[in-house]
Structure 1
Amino acid sequence: MGGPLERCELLAPPAPELAERVIGDVLARAARLGPADPLLRTVTPREERAWTAAGLLADAERVAAGLLARHEPGTRIATCLANGPEAVLLQFGVALAGMVLVPVNPRSRGPELEHALRLSGAAAVYAAEDAGGNPAADLAEQTAARLPGLRAVHRCTGEWRALLHDRATALPTVSPQSLAQIQFTSGTTGRAKGVEITHAGMVATAHAFRARIGLAEGGVWINPMPLFHTAGNVLGVMGGLWQRCEHVVVPFEPGRVLALVPERRATLLSAAPTLLDLLMARPEIGDTDLRSLQVVFTGGQTVRPGFVDRVESTFGAPLITTFGMTETCGSALLSAPTDPDPVRRTTVGRPLAGTDVRIATPEGDPAVPGETGELWVRGERLTRGYHQDPAATAAAIDPEGWLHTGDLAVMDATGACRIVGRLKDMIKTGGENVSPEEVEEVVAGHPSVVRAAVVGAPDDRWGELVVAFVVPEPGARIDPAELERHCRDRLSPFKVPRAWRTVDELPMTASTKIQRAELRRMAAADPDLRRPAVP
C-alpha cells in the first residue's frame, strides 16, 4: 500500500493464481509434497488416531468411493457430528465425490435439524448417536419420516472405518465454481439461512489465511473449533492442508485441549474468545508448558485490548483476530503475528489477499479514515448466495458484488479495521444512537466484570433504555451503583446503562456469538423495565 488512505476503500490486487483450485487438489498437493508427513490427528474419548498425508488421501478416496456407490455427484450429504475422524473424512470424501456437504450442529434439536435438512435437500445424513447428550441420529430418523427426499440416515458411533469402501472408484472432475458446502448462519436473528460456499472460495480463503499467519510449513495446529462452521472446516481443516502441519482435531474440553499443547508441541491454537476464557480459567494453566506456541488465533466476536493482553501474557504468543462470516468462508480481514501492538490489540487487521473492503457511508460512498460506516466486502471467497432464498441474497449482495455485512467499522489510514457494532444492534435512546460495543468495552473494563452485553429495551419515554447484562468475576459482587459511576467517568450520560442485570453466562450461539435477540427478549419481558408512557 502507498501513503495514508484518503478514503476507506481498499481494492485488493488479484490473489495469487493457484494451481490447486478445488478441495481435492489441496489434499493431493500435501500427499505429493510429503506423503509420510503427519497431516491429521483426531483426539476423541473413543480413540486417538493419526494419518500421514498419503494415508489421509487414500482413506478420503475410499470414503468418496462409498458415497459414489450410493449417490450421484451433486447430491447433498448432511453431517451431524462432533469433531472427530468421521467429520473430517466425510468433509474430504464428499468433496472428492463431487457432492455437496451440509454440516449441521450436532446439538441441533428436532426443528432446527429438520429446517437444515429440508432447506438443503439432503439425500443422506450421517448423525452421531450421542452428541453431548443430544440423540442426533434418533432425531434424524424422526425427521426422515417427514422428508421423502431424505433417503438414508447413517448412525455414527465413532467407528470411522465403516465409511471406507473396499473398491477403487473413478472420481469425477470437480469445477472450482461448483458448490462445495451449504453452511448455516448462526441464527442470532430469525431462522438460519443456508450459505452456498464454492470449492474456489474455500481454497482461496484457506490459502490467504495461512499466508497471513506467516509460519513456516509444518508445525502442529490444535483445532477445537466446531467442524460444522467455517472456522473449523475452512480455516482449520483447509488451512492445515495448505500449512502441511499436523492438524489436531479435538472436541472442546478445556483440560484436554490445554494438555495437548505440550503433548504435541503445538505451534498454533485456534479458539473462540469464550473458549480462550475457559482455558485461562483452568487452575493448571500456570504449570502448563506453553512455550511451543507461536500464534493463538481467535474470531467470532469482538475482542478488547485487555483481553488481548491477558491472552498474550498467559500463552506467551501473539493473538491474531479475524473478521469473518459464514458468507466469507470464515475470514475476510485478519491481523498478523507481526503487526504492531495497536493493530493486534484494537483491530481485526487488514483484508486478506483477493478481498476488496469498503467502509460505506449511509449513501454507499467510501467513508474517510476514522469515520464509522458499514463494512462491505467483495471477492472470490464470498458466498454465491443463500440457498433457495433469492430475496435474502439480493438484500445482502448488491449488483456490484459487495456483501453488506451489517457490521459497523472504522478504518484507519493504514487500512486496519476496527469493528464497533452492528447496524441492527444500534440502540436509539432519547434521539441519540448508542453502539452496544462501545458501552460493553467500558463495562467489561471494570475489575468485577468478566463479560458484558448491552441491548436496548423498549421504553415509551426514551424509545429504548440501555440495559447491561454482566457476568461477574468469580467471587465478585456486582454493584450497579459502582458500575454506573465507572461508566459515567468514561461515557456520555446517554450511553450509561439505565438498568443492570447479573447473569451466570451470556446466551451464545453454537459459534460462540452473543444471542442479542435473546437478551432483547429478556429485557423486554422484565417487569421492572416496563413503564407507562408519560401523559
Structure 2
Amino acid sequence: MTAPRPAVSLAEVLPWAAHRSPDHVALVTSTRTLTYSELDSLSNRVAAALRARGFEPGDVVSLFAQNSWQWIAAYHGILKAGAVVNPVNVMLTGPELRYVLDDCGARGLFIGTAEHERVGAQLRDVDLLTTVTLDDAFDRFVEHASSAAIPPVDRRPRDLGSIGYTSGTTGHPKGAMQSLESVLLNCAHTATMHGKTSADVVLSALPAAHVYGNVVVNGTFLAGGTVVLMERFDADRALELITEHGVTVIEGVPAMYSMLLCAPDLEGTDLTGIRVSTVGGQTFSRVIIDKWERLTGAPLLELWGMTELSGLGTTHSVYAPGCPGSIGVSLPGSQIVVAPTDGSVIPLPPGEPGELLVRGPLVMLGYYGMREATAQALTDDGWLRTGDVAYLDDSGHAFIVDRLKDMIITGGYNVYPAEIERVVAEHPDVAMVAVGRRPDPVKGEIAVAYVVLRAGADADRDSISAFCTERLAAYKRPRDVVFVDALPTTSSGKLLRRKLSDLDPAAAVAPSTAALSTADR
C-alpha cells in the first residue's frame, strides 16, 4: 500500500494521521472515543454520502451544532468531498442562521438535535439539498456509504476551503473566506510553536466552529495527539478529565481559567502532568496567569487571532523566554506591523501604539460577496487591518492595548477598557471584570466596571475605586462599579462588550449623547 503524502490541506490531515498511527486515540468525547483509523473512515463515509446526494466540489456545507464526534467527522468529510465548510456559531438565532445560510449559498446543513428543535421551523423554506441532524439521522446518512477514501479533488492551496463568519457586532456578520492553505498553515504553525507531539493529550471546550477551537483540534491531529473535547465547559468536569485522561495541554479563554481557579475540587487535582496551557480571546489578568503557572509548574501562553486569519496571528514558542503581558510574535511566514490609525501602513517605532496589521498566507481571501468591506479590511499590498490597537517592543513581541471600536472617549481622553480590566482583575475579591461605557452629559461617556466577585467576597464600590486610584491615572479610572452575577460572552467564552449595558441599571436612565453611536454600544 502506498503511503499518503504529508497533508497539504486539511482534507488530508486524517488520512496522513491514520497511516502513521491508525490505532492511536484521536478524539475523546462524552459519548464516543475514536482512533485515527475510525475517525478517518467515518469522515470518508460522510464524503461519500455527500457525493452520492449530488454535492459537487465547491458547494458550501454548513455545520451548526455543539461540539461532538459527529461534528468533527462531518467537518473532515465535507473537506474530503471537495466542498467548502461553513462552521457556524451555535449561539445564533434562527434568523441569524438563516442569513448565514442564504449569504454563503449553503447547499447542505449538519445541525445538532437541540439546535434543530430550536431553529428548525425557521429554516423550512431555505433551499438546501440536504439537512442532517447529528443524531440517529447522521448514522443513517453514512450507514451505506463506503468507508474507503474517495478520489481526491483537484484543489489548489489558495482555493476556498472554509467560510467563517465574524460575530457581526455591527450590522450583518461577514463571511471571511479562508483558503485551504491558510487553515492548514495556521494549525501546523500553531502546533509547532506550542511543541505538540503524538504524546500530547489536549483538553478543549472551545467551540469547534470557532477558529481557535478549530486550530486546537486540527493542530493536535497534525501532531498525532489526542483531543479530549468537551461539549461545553464545566470546571469540575474539566478537572475530572485532566486526571482521567492524563491531560498534558489545556487550551481555553480567560473565563475558563478563572472558573478553574475557583473550583472546589482544584486543590485535590494533580496538575503536574500539564506541560503547557494557552489562552486567547481577550486580555487576561497577569495575576490569574501567575496563579495558574504556579499550580501547574508550566507556562500559560497568551495568544491572539482572528477569523480573518483562520485562527492565530501571534503566539509564543513554548521554549522561548517568557514575555509577560505579550500576545507573542507572528506565526512563521507572516508579518506583523503597528501602523498609525489614520489608514497609512508606515510602521511606528517600538512602544508607540497604533493599529496592528498582518500580512502573509494566513490572511483571508476577502469577505464573501462584500467587495467594499474587503477593500476596507485589506490594503492593495496585502495587509489586513485588524482593528486592534497594539504596540511592539524591541524584540518584536506584540502587546494588545484594546479594540479600536471599544475605545472610550471621556472628557477628550482616550480610555481603553482592557487597561482598566487588567487593574481591576488584580483586586483580591474580583473573579471576573469587564469594562463598558455609559453616556454622560458632561464627559460624553464614562467607563463603568462590571464586576463578578469571588465566592464569599464582600468588596464594595469604594474598595474597587480606591484600588484603581492607586494604579490608574484619574481619567482612566472607572466612574462607577456595577456588581453582576455573570458577564455576557460568546459561545467561545469571549466577552460580549456590547451587551454590558444590558446589565447596567443606570444605562436606561442616563442622558443620551449624539457622540455615542448605536454601533459603539
Alignment TM-score, normalising by the size of structure 1? 0.89
Aligned pair partner of 2:50 in 51, 67, 70: 67
Aligned pair partner of 1:300 in 261, 275, 281: 281
Aligned pair partner of 1:236 in 203, 206, 216: 216
User: Secondary structure at the residue paired with 2:494?
Assistant: coil
Contact 2:310 2:364 in 1 (8 A): yes
User: Secondary structure at the residue paired with 1:283?
Assistant: coil
- In the other structure, the counterpart of 2:110 is 126
Note closer, same or farther for the CA distance 1:85–1:215 as it changes in structure 2 (3 Å cut). Answer: closer
Shift of 1:401: 0.8
In 2: Cα distance, 1:114 partner to 1:94 partner:
20
Shift of 1:97: 0.4
- In the other structure, the counterpart of 1:84 is 68
Question: Are 1:348 and 2:331 matched, yes or no?
Answer: no
User: Secondary structure at the residue paired with 2:303?
Assistant: strand
- In the other structure, the counterpart of 1:269 is 250
- In the other structure, the counterpart of 1:25 is 12
Note closer, same or farther for the CA distance 1:452–1:158 as it changes in structure 2 (3 Å cut). Answer: farther
In 1: Cα distance, 2:513 partner to 2:104 partner:
46
In 2: Cα distance, 1:468 partner to 1:158 partner:
47
Equivalenced residue count is: 503
- In the other structure, the counterpart of 1:371 is 352
Shift of 1:76: 1.2
User: Secondary structure at the residue paired with 2:265?
Assistant: helix
Shift of 1:531: 8.4
In 1: Cα distance, 2:112 partner to 2:21 partner:
33
User: Secondary structure at the residue paired with 1:346?
Assistant: coil
In 2: Cα distance, 1:108 partner to 1:158 partner:
24
User: Secondary structure at the residue paired with 1:65?
Assistant: helix
User: Secondary structure at the residue paired with 2:464?
Assistant: helix
- In the other structure, the counterpart of 1:43 is 29
- Which letter maps to 1:240? T
- Which letter maps to 1:201? S
- In the other structure, the counterpart of 1:150 is 128
Alignment TM-score, normalising by the size of structure 2? 0.91
- Which letter maps to 2:95? P
- Which letter maps to 2:104? S
User: Secondary structure at the residue paired with 2:406?
Assistant: coil
Share of identical aligned residues, percent?
A: 33
Question: Are 1:470 and 2:447 matched, yes or no?
Answer: no
Shift of 1:228: 0.9
Task: Structure 2: state its 5+ residue gaps.
Answer: 515-521
- In the other structure, the counterpart of 2:519 is none
In 2: Cα distance, 1:316 partner to 1:424 partner:
37
Shift of 1:160: 5.2
Q: Which residues of 2 match residues 401-420 of structure 1 at below 5 A?
A: 401-420=382-401
The C-alpha deviation readout for 1:330-356, integer Å capped at 9, x for no partner, is 101001323334x1x311111110111
Note closer, same or farther for the CA distance 1:214–1:472 as it changes in structure 2 (3 Å cut). Answer: same
Aligned pair partner of 1:248 in 201, 220, 228: 228
User: Secondary structure at the residue paired with 2:431?
Assistant: strand
Shift of 1:529: 3.8
Question: Are 1:194 and 2:178 matched, yes or no?
Answer: no
Question: Are 1:100 and 2:89 matched, yes or no?
Answer: no
Contact 1:140 1:153 in 2 (8 A): no
In 2: Cα distance, 1:166 partner to 1:365 partner:
55
Question: Are 1:54 and 2:51 matched, yes or no?
Answer: no
- Which letter maps to 2:450? F
User: Secondary structure at the residue paired with 1:367?
Assistant: coil
In 1: Cα distance, 2:138 partner to 2:213 partner:
19
- Which letter maps to 1:237? V
Note closer, same or farther for the CA distance 1:422–1:395 as it changes in structure 2 (3 Å cut). Answer: same
In 2: Cα distance, 1:191 partner to 1:475 partner:
42
- In the other structure, the counterpart of 2:438 is 457
Contact 2:176 2:308 in 1 (8 A): yes
The C-alpha deviation readout for 1:190-209, integer Å capped at 9, x for no partner, is 43221211110111111100
Contact 1:456 1:466 in 2 (8 A): yes
User: Which 10-residue stretch deviates more, 194-203 or 174-183?
Assistant: 174-183
In 1: Cα distance, 2:88 partner to 2:445 partner:
36
Shift of 1:36: 2.8
Aligned pair partner of 1:283 in 252, 261, 264: 264
The C-alpha deviation readout for 1:435-479, integer Å capped at 9, x for no partner, is 111111112221222222222222232121222211112222332
Shift of 1:163: 4.2
Larger RCO (alpha carbons 8 Å, 6+ apart): 1
Q: CA RMSD of the aligned region, Å? A: 2.2
In 2: Cα distance, 1:26 partner to 1:510 partner:
26
User: Secondary structure at the residue paired with 2:34?
Assistant: strand
Note closer, same or farther for the CA distance 1:524–1:370 as it changes in structure 2 (3 Å cut). Answer: farther
In 2: Cα distance, 1:138 partner to 1:436 partner:
38
- Which letter maps to 1:151? L
